[in-house]
Structure 1
Amino acid sequence: MKKPLSHILLITDMDDTLLRTDKTVSRENLDALEEFRALGGKFTIATGRSIPSYLPYHQSLHPDCAVVLNNGAVLYRPDRDEILWNSILPASAKEYVTQAVQEFDSLGVEILLGKEIFIPKMNQQICDHMEHEHLVHTVVPVEQIPDEWYKVLYAMEPDELPGLCSFLEHQGHSDVTYVTSSSCYCEMLPKNTSKGDSLKILLELEQLQNHKVYAVGDYYNDIHLLEAADVAAAVDNAPDDVKAYADFVVASNNEHGIAQVVKRIMEKEL
Structure 2
Amino acid sequence: MGKFANVLIVTDLDGTLLDSQKKIGVASREAIRYFISEGGSFTFATGRLYQSFLGIRKRVIYNAPIVFANGAQIINMGDANILYQMPLESDMIPICEDVLSAFPEAALEVYAHKRCGVVRFNDISLKHMLDFSIEHTLYRTARDVPQPWLKVLFTERTEVLSEIASYIQDRYQKASVCFSSKNFLEVFHADADKGRGTLKLAEILGINPEHIYASGDQENDMALLQAAKLSFAPENAVDAIKERADIILPDNDSDMMAALISHLDSIY
TM-score by length of 2: 0.95
Residue 135 of structure 2 corresponds to 136
- 1:125 deviates by 1.0
Q: Secondary structure at the match of 1:244?
A: helix
Aligned to 1:244: 243
Question: How many residues are aligned here?
Answer: 267
4+ residue stretches of structure 1 with deviation over 6 A?
Answer: none
**Post-superposition offset of 1:218:** 0.4
The 3-state SS of whatever aligns with 1:178 is: strand
The equivalent of 1:6 in structure 2 is 5
Superposed displacement of residue 7, structure 1? 2.9
Q: Is the 8 A contact 1:7 1:210 kept in 2?
A: no
For 1:162 and 1:218, the matched residues in 2 are separated by 19
- Asked whether the 8 Å contact 2:109–2:117 carries over to 1, the reply is yes
Q: In structure 1, how many angstroms separate the alpha carbons of the residues matched to 2:261 and 2:56?
A: 20
Q: Does structure 2 retain, via aligned residues, the 8 Å contact 1:218–1:238?
A: yes
**Deviation, structure 1 residue 28:** 2.1
- Residue 75 of structure 1 aligns to a residue in which SS? strand
- 1:189 alignment partner in structure 2: 188
Unaligned runs of 5+ in 2: none
Partner of 2:39: 40
How much has 1:210 moved relative to structure 2?
A: 6.4
Show CA shifts across 1:138-187 (max 9, x none). 0012222112111101111234322222322322x011111111111111
Whether contact under 8 Å (1:220, 1:242) holds in the other structure is: yes
Q: 2:153 aligns to what?
A: 153
- Match for residue 79 of structure 2? 80
Q: 2:263 is matched with which residue?
A: 264
Measured on the aligned residues, the alpha-carbon RMSD in Å equals 1.4
State the Cα deviation string for residues 32-57 of structure 1 (Å, max 9, x = none): 11121122221010000000111223
Normalised by the length of structure 1, the TM-score is: 0.95
Distance 1:121 1:85 in 2: 30
Write the deviation string for residues 82-110 of structure 1: whole angstroms up to 9, x where unpaired: 11110111111110110110111110111
Partner letter of residue 148 of structure 2? E
Task: Give the AA of the match of 1:87.
Answer: M
The answer as to whether partners of 1:20 and 1:253 remain within 8 angstroms in 2 is: yes
Q: Which residues of 2 match residues 23-34 of structure 1 at below 5 A?
A: 23-34=22-33
Instruction: Provide structure 1 residue ranges, at least 5 long, that are not aligned to the other structure.
Output: none
